[in-house]
Chains A and B, each alone.
Chain A
């Protein structure tokens, strides 16, 4: 017989959606601070600041600004992973490595949304070929990007994703953005893979190939 008393008592409280925004974010009006439920301070970026970052970097360093933002994203992603993993472990009572894949994916989706970074989806269908495809929509980074850019502009997000999934997988991963809302696409696509393979996508992107074509070429290339 199942002893329910034992079952429910041993591991309570039973966790729900840790990143639900009403539980996750709290603020103190008097001192003007916002923090998350782990007690860590949060910072809110006004859209104007993001826009200014693109403009200022473009004026200061021109072509290199993408790389700078990507590297900022890498740094940010490393710290983000550390916090994310610690908070998850504390709340769900098990380390990320022991979490079911679906639980992990749901956590990252909820977290992404609560942080105001839009909606994220993780596509594992290219996993066998060694690629991970991330789709985001309503990205504030894309929204703040200059409208006349003719290339994907979510460099910071790409850097964040590469560092984050490098930590998750334990393998060095690079990230190439293959579609961007700032160019009128419905979503942003990011392809993650080991650097020498995924970098090929960059050349096809410069040729003007779309996300689907790039994915097909990456997989064909892989098969050869």
Chain B
């Protein structure tokens, strides 16, 4: 493989990391509160708002039902309004983020629902406000689950980011399609796949390490 190709691969890797990082950060900024709300707003729960819960649940499900490649094309007007253009790596962050928000919200919701209801009761008995319970009990206790959920989200976003070539987004997926497939350069395709495998491995290991650091539930069982 020529030096030129290695350079292309390096650039594509950075672009992928940029898109995934940006959509994860923005997606978490919106998805985490949304997930917390979904987990605490059913009837009789901490923030009891059954109607808002149902409506937001429907929106989340609807967004998650749309195949990513269709979402990318369908929201082009929104992308143009937000970024000023619908083409390129920056523009690709919009559909990636939009896909990340409901996904992260559901993962956070699941992690928070895993927290023992007895802890909520104990905190209520202490005179905690709903906001204090969310911040000091629910999110804190759910940290291992949230870390694993975000790991899953990042791995999925790495996969999604390969499709944004359709709107001129660059990155590893785009490189693989244009060079490996359209220019018949199988060695590029192979290199792209190898880099993706390594990336996903690193993300997964990092996520599990962070989750284990947060998890104080059974210290003696760690590293089974």
* Co-assembled chains A and B: no
Question: Which residues does B use to contact A, with CB under 8 Å?
Answer: none
